[in-house]
Chain A
């Protein structure tokens, strides 16, 4: 398996990210210290809390590693407006092999930034790219259009929903469909999955963008079902040009 080639140690990388987050150092400075970028892609994973994003991501990381690619993850959770503190718990589900230098996971709080990302996501992504990571994944909470800023930074956007999030599906239809390149119906083991699936497929049919028809993937992340299919969809979307295919007006 490849790793980041020992350009920069995990410890140094972690510290660089902190420095960038705290604006103690410019991005270009940080990038030049981190190393040289490989060919890389940014994948955004968005959906309501509890829908299974981190669970799915855990398997996706493994799948990318198994196909010999290095992976860096930024997991974003909201900062409390009241206290300025944050609880970051996404790592719990991402229990990768310790000591594998081809995986790097970092939790970030939004620190007052709106839109589902942190004010420094773009910058931190640049640093991770420079450190040689190939697949960069951003997990963000998003249910409506205001929270889908992820589209600005991602080459491919995966929107996740589940039968347990019925109320949010309406919102999803409004917002996320416009930006999703791949749609995942997770928790398909839940009652009502059939109907939601049919519904999603119907909505996705209208989304043919320059030859890319947005797939809907049926998944049970907790039982590892549908992961390979998702990975393959992402790969073929990226192979066809990724975010450049009919990228949406939102992308600024």
Chain B
């Protein structure tokens, strides 16, 4: 009899007397976790075919040959609140603390294409990010920061074409050539429909804006990452790790298909696609998730889309630790959660990382909390030794088996979505949303029933005082932005602004790329709200698909 079976039987006898902690052990995706993994669990694996070497197809072990032996990941803390001036101060602080890339958070009116003086913006201005109404705000936001020497990541989606247009306008005004610009716009509308909710236009118009950006950048802004296809928010909305991989890649497939349909070649756009994942609590599941995503994408690009450029095969990604796992109770414990999640991201081979601050379940993070979060990354990098070899967990029987399992289950989702006619249809039919909601509901039930332990919440809790020293956004921001807008509209050349706006509208109605007109409009100080309002009239607005 084989030794494994022998051992297993013996152990099963033993646990009759002293049982294990639980009858079954399951990870977040519902995958059964075995007592022990052995080479038998990897028997279907072919090293050269399924793992290969870092920097080579199928990139399971990493997208660069030397990984963190060459250079650490980019430590990139998402920040932005209140006015452009306040955010600018926070950016300069972060740069002074050793951060290399900026990550800009915008307030909801900006994300939804409303100016700060719009009635719908009331109470929201500057709350979850910085308010940007026009090029003027952009000038202040990046005051004293050299656009050519930093990489800027902007969490902006439905209104990305305008905000990015303003960023380009700023570069042009400062005489910086577009080739020198580095950074990322999120620009991922599909996950907005699925999970995050900041959409404006219906799918067809939105997809067109995205392909316009792809094509404009491939010619004009070659080092810009034109999209950050995001599983992060899908996971935050309650999906499992498998669903996060599956739906993110399904979104990616939809973008590539739409670009190809618009006449772009796969290899002209794919190298600029980037991804954005969540780092959640289940440590090994997360590491395996990142590795599985990389392998799947490489295969999809090579086999399905026939991409030839190796850069088109490589899935590069940013990671943020899971905001939804942070709790208000005993908030300092969040630092430890973030540490574990960050470590999973690093062992999963991330290209950049945002570590959440301990107080994010309560409010915007204070400067002190942000510093701890950044130091967490620096400690992992400089002290833990995990960066000294590539993919240190590669070859673990458990991790390789999980990687394969996640790939397998995610692939089943991708097939299902293909059979529904693609991701757009699956979203319109509410399929994707329902899958996520079911997982979210199960997750909540498992916490409430005590099946899933959360320290400080359903186990090891203690009475504590209301937390102090939270950061509050000054409500005066709204008035300040409004005043600026009025002054702007009185001070600018309104004939020129109206002409520029009309050109954007014409471009939107026609076939030509919309970006040149948007950059010109930004230079004429046409506001974000003016542009989006004009296009809302032409294209209408998306209505959410709610499945309950």
A–B contact via C-beta, under 8 angstroms: yes
Q: How far is the CA of A1 from the CA of B272 in the complex (A)?
A: 54
Q: List 8 A-B contacts (CB under 8 A).
A: A92-B543, A92-B544, A164-B429, A190-B421, A222-B543, A223-B202, A223-B540, A224-B540
Residue A84 at the B interface, CB < 8 A? no
Chain A 176-204, CB-CB to B under 8 Å as 1, else 0, gives 00000000000000110000000000000
Chain B 509-548, CB-CB to A under 8 Å as 1, else 0, gives 0000000000000000000000000000000100110111
Given the known A-B contacts A50-B429, A164-B429, are A191 and B421 also in contact in the complex, defined by CB atoms under 8 Å? yes
Residue B174 at the A interface, CB < 8 A? no
Q: Does A93 lie within 8 Å of B543, measured CB to CB? A: yes
Residue A89 at the B interface, CB < 8 A? yes
Residue of A nearest to B430 (CB): A50
Residue A14 at the B interface, CB < 8 A? no
Q: How far is the CA of A193 from the CA of B421 in the complex (A)?
A: 13
Residue A171 at the B interface, CB < 8 A? no
Q: How far is the CA of A224 from the CA of B543 in the complex (A)?
A: 12
Q: Does A89 lie within 8 Å of B425, measured CB to CB? A: no
Q: How far is the CA of A223 from the CA of B204 in the complex (A)?
A: 11
A116 to chain B, nearest CB (A): 18
The residues of B that contact A89 with a CB separation of less than 8 Å are 546, 548
Q: How far is the CA of A55 from the CA of B429 in the complex (A)?
A: 13
6 nearest A-B residue pairs (beta carbon): A87-B548, A89-B548, A92-B546, A89-B546, A93-B543, A191-B421
Interface size, B (range): 10 to 19
Given the known A-B contacts A50-B430, A191-B421, are A222 and B202 also in contact in the complex, defined by CB atoms under 8 Å? yes
Q: How far is the CA of A223 from the CA of B540 in the complex (A)?
A: 8
Chain A 1-14, CB-CB to B under 8 Å as 1, else 0, gives 00000000000000
The residues of A that contact B425 with a CB separation of less than 8 Å are 164, 190
Q: How far is the CA of A47 from the CA of B388 in the complex (A)?
A: 61
A99 to chain B, nearest CB (A): 14
Chain A 204-240, CB-CB to B under 8 Å as 1, else 0, gives 0000000000000000001110000000000000000
The residues of B that contact A50 with a CB separation of less than 8 Å are 429-430, 547
A220 to chain B, nearest CB (A): 11
Q: How far is the CA of A93 from the CA of B421 in the complex (A)?
A: 24
**In terms of DSSP, what is the predominant structure of the interface of chain B?**
loop
A30 to chain B, nearest CB (A): 30
B89 to chain A, nearest CB (A): 40
The residues of B that contact A223 with a CB separation of less than 8 Å are 202, 540
A:52-92 near B, CB below 8 Å: 55, 87, 89, 92
Q: How far is the CA of A237 from the CA of B348 in the complex (A)?
A: 64
> Which residues of B are at the interface with A, using a C-beta cutoff of 8 A?
202, 421, 425, 429-430, 540, 543-544, 546-548
Q: How far is the CA of A203 from the CA of B184 in the complex (A)?
A: 54
B536 to chain A, nearest CB (A): 14
Q: How far is the CA of A89 from the CA of B425 in the complex (A)?
A: 21
Q: Does B543 lie within 8 Å of A55, measured CB to CB? A: yes
How many residues in A have their beta carbons less than 8 Å from beta carbons of B? 12
Most chain A CB inside 10 Å of its own CB: which residue of B421, B430, B543, B547: B543
A:77-124 near B, CB below 8 Å: 87, 89, 92-93
The residues of B that contact A93 with a CB separation of less than 8 Å are 543
Q: How far is the CA of A89 from the CA of B548 in the complex (A)?
A: 7
The residues of A that contact B430 with a CB separation of less than 8 Å are 50
The residues of B that contact A164 with a CB separation of less than 8 Å are 425, 429
Task: List 19 additional contacts besides A191-B421, A223-B540; criterion CB under 8 Å.
Answer: A50-B429, A50-B430, A50-B547, A55-B543, A87-B548, A89-B546, A89-B548, A92-B543, A92-B544, A92-B546, A93-B543, A164-B425, A164-B429, A190-B421, A190-B425, A222-B202, A222-B543, A223-B202, A224-B540
Q: How far is the CA of A153 from the CA of B548 in the complex (A)?
A: 28
The residues of A that contact B202 with a CB separation of less than 8 Å are 222-223
Q: How far is the CA of A224 from the CA of B544 in the complex (A)?
A: 16
A219 to chain B, nearest CB (A): 15
Residue of B nearest to A191 (CB): B421
A56 to chain B, nearest CB (A): 12
Residue of A nearest to B544 (CB): A92
The residues of A that contact B429 with a CB separation of less than 8 Å are 50, 164
A240 to chain B, nearest CB (A): 34
The residues of A that contact B421 with a CB separation of less than 8 Å are 190-191
The residues of A that contact B540 with a CB separation of less than 8 Å are 223-224
Q: How far is the CA of A93 from the CA of B202 in the complex (A)?
A: 14
A86 to chain B, nearest CB (A): 10
B241 to chain A, nearest CB (A): 27
The residues of A that contact B547 with a CB separation of less than 8 Å are 50
The residues of B that contact A92 with a CB separation of less than 8 Å are 543-544, 546
Q: How far is the CA of A55 from the CA of B546 in the complex (A)?
A: 12
A59 to chain B, nearest CB (A): 11
Q: How far is the CA of A164 from the CA of B430 in the complex (A)?
A: 12
Q: How far is the CA of A222 from the CA of B544 in the complex (A)?
A: 11
Residue of B nearest to A95 (CB): B543
Q: How far is the CA of A92 from the CA of B548 in the complex (A)?
A: 11
A:4-45 near B, CB below 8 Å: none
Q: How far is the CA of A165 from the CA of B548 in the complex (A)?
A: 19
B252 to chain A, nearest CB (A): 22
A92 to chain B, nearest CB (A): 5
Residue of B nearest to A93 (CB): B543
A131 to chain B, nearest CB (A): 28
B361 to chain A, nearest CB (A): 27
B444 to chain A, nearest CB (A): 16
A251 to chain B, nearest CB (A): 32
Residue of A nearest to B422 (CB): A191
Q: How far is the CA of A191 from the CA of B544 in the complex (A)?
A: 22
Residue of B nearest to A55 (CB): B543
Residue of A nearest to B420 (CB): A164
The residues of B that contact A55 with a CB separation of less than 8 Å are 543
Residue of A nearest to B431 (CB): A50
Q: How far is the CA of A185 from the CA of B425 in the complex (A)?
A: 17
Q: How far is the CA of A93 from the CA of B541 in the complex (A)?
A: 12
The residues of A that contact B544 with a CB separation of less than 8 Å are 92
Residue of B nearest to A86 (CB): B548
Residue of A nearest to B548 (CB): A87
The residues of B that contact A224 with a CB separation of less than 8 Å are 540
Q: How far is the CA of A155 from the CA of B375 in the complex (A)?
A: 70
Q: How far is the CA of A222 from the CA of B193 in the complex (A)?
A: 15
Q: How far is the CA of A89 from the CA of B544 in the complex (A)?
A: 11
B268 to chain A, nearest CB (A): 28
Q: How far is the CA of A13 from the CA of B543 in the complex (A)?
A: 29
Q: How far is the CA of A93 from the CA of B546 in the complex (A)?
A: 9
The residues of A that contact B546 with a CB separation of less than 8 Å are 89, 92
Q: How far is the CA of A50 from the CA of B428 in the complex (A)?
A: 9
Residue of A nearest to B421 (CB): A191
A185 to chain B, nearest CB (A): 16
Residue of B nearest to A52 (CB): B428
B257 to chain A, nearest CB (A): 14
